[in-house]
Amino acid sequence: MPSDHARRDDLIGKVISGELSPSEAEAEAARLDLKAIEYRPNCDDYDPMKEPFWTLPMAIAWIACRSPEAVRENWDVYRTECTHWRYMDHWKGPNSSGFDLFGLSPASLLRLRLGETLGLRGDGEQPYSMSVADAINALWQAMRGSCFEATGIDVASGRRETLDAIRLQDLELAEIDDRDVLCTRAPIGRGPIRYRDVTVPTGHVRGLWKARSPKPDRIVLPELERPDGPGYMPLYCAAQWIATQGGTVDFDPLQTDRWKSAYGELLARISSDDVKVIGFRDGMREPVPGYQFAGVKMSYPFIDTAIDLILGDEMYLQSYAFTDEEDWLGGLDDSLVKHGRPKWARLVVLGSDVARLWAYPQDGSRQDQSDLSSYRSGGPGRPSAMHLVEAEFHRRCKQGSVEPPLAKEAAFLASWLRTYHPTAPPLTPKTIGNRLMAAFRAYIRARN
C-alpha cells in the first residue's frame, strides 16, 4: 500500500496536471484521512513569545502590530511548515492546470513593507500600531543607541558575534537574495555583506514596545493588590492603590492625568525616604536610594515609552501593569532604566508604608467618576465637594503630611480634588482655606 506521503504527492500531481481542482484534492485528502495539502500547523505548537531571540522581521512585526500572530507569521520556523496553492496564468497549458503547491517564502523586511501596502497581515488581522517604516527606524535607533545588543553571523568567519552600538555605526540594513543582512556602509552604493541572520533579544523588544489590546472598548485595570500585612508589593500596585483611592474609584487606565498624580505622590514619598524601595541589580536584591527617584521621568503603564526617553542619557522609571508573576519576572515590571537597560529592576515598595500614607476609607463600593451623587454631602443646597476635601484634609492630618502654610495646603487640596474627582464642582484654594482655617490652626497647635 502506498505511504501517506506518496498518496499526498499523487493528489498534488493530479492538481498540477488538471485532473483535480485544489478543492477536490483537499476533499480527497480528508476522505483518506491524510494531512491537508494546503497546510498551516497548529499555532499552539509555535509560540514566538517563548523564543529568547527574534529575527529582524519578527521584531518589526511586533513593533508595528503588537500581536503574537503577526510575529508568528514572520517566523521562518513556522513559515517553513506552511504550504499553499498558487495559480499563475502563464503556467496553464495542455497538461497543466496553472496551479502548483508552494511553501511560504522566507520572512523579510521588504515582505513586511509590501504586506502593509497591500493590507496583508496574516492571521489575527491586528491593526498596525505604527507603520513598518517607522518600526524599522525605531528598532534601528534602539540598536544603535545601546538599548540592547543584537547578534549576527559574520559571513567571513561563520561565527555569531555581538553587534554593539559602536560596531553598528559602520553598518546599514539591506536585503540581498530575499534575506535581511547588514552591509558595510559605503560612500557610494552598497558595501559588502558583513552579517547575516541578525537577532535581537525578545525581552528587550517587548519591554521597549509594550503590548496593546486590539481595539478595546475599554481597558480594564488589573485586580487591585491591597497593602495589607507585612512584606513588599510591586511599585505599580502601590500606584494603582493610590490612583483608585484604595479601589473605591474606577477610571480609564489610558487617563494619564490620574497616573501622573498617583506616581507623583508615590515618587515624592520615595524620594523623601518615607517609602522604602528594593530593586534587583546584578543578580541581587538591594535597597534603592530614595534620591534616585527625585524628579525622575516616567514611562506610565498602558502607554508606549517615548523614543526620546529610550534614546536619551537620563534615567527614567518604566512601569508596567502587574498582571501575573510570569510576566513580571519576564521583564514586564517596574524598573529604573537608562538607554533601554534596567539599572534596578523588579522594584517593590514596603506595603506597610503604602497603607500608612494612603489609608483610604473602605466601604466596599467602587465609584465611577461620572457619579455626581457622590458630591452631595447630605445637606441642603447644590452639590459640593467640600466634604470630600475635609475628609482628605483630616486624613492628611492623621498622617502628618499637611504642608504649612495654609495657602500651600489649600492649593494642594484644590489640585487633589481636580485630579481625583474631575467631575466634582470645583473649589478654589481661597474657598478651601477659609473653610479649613480653624482646623488648620488646631493642627498646627497640636503639632507644636
Distances (CA, A) of 262 to 30, 337, 349: 59, 20, 14
For the chain, the helix, strand and coil percentages under 3-state DSSP, each to the nearest 5: 40, 20, 40
Is a pLDDT exceeding 90 seen at residue 373? Answer: no
Give the pLDDT mean for 410-433.
81
Between 156 and 328, residue with greater pLDDT: 156
Peptide bond before residue 405 is cis, with ω within 30 degrees of 0? yes
User: Three cell numbers at 218?
Assistant: 475599554
pLDDT, residue 441, reads 86
Distances (CA, A) of 443 to 325, 390, 399, 401, 429: 43, 13, 12, 11, 18
Kindly report the pTM of this predicted structure. Answer: 0.56
Distances (CA, A) of 368 to 49, 188, 245, 372, 385: 36, 62, 12, 9, 15
DSSP class of 96? B
- For Cα atoms 307, 137, 338, give the angle at the middle one, nearest 5 degrees: 35
- What would the pLDDT profile of 67-110 be if each residue is shown by its tens digit? 899 999 999 999 999 988 888 877 787 888 888 888 888 899 98
Give the pLDDT mean for 318-345.
85
pLDDT, residue 185, reads 87
Mean pLDDT (the chain, rounded): 83
Give the pLDDT mean for 246-262.
87
Percent of the chain with pLDDT over 70: 89
Give the other-Cβ count within 10 Å of 239's Cβ. Answer: 28
Is a pLDDT exceeding 70 seen at residue 129? Answer: no
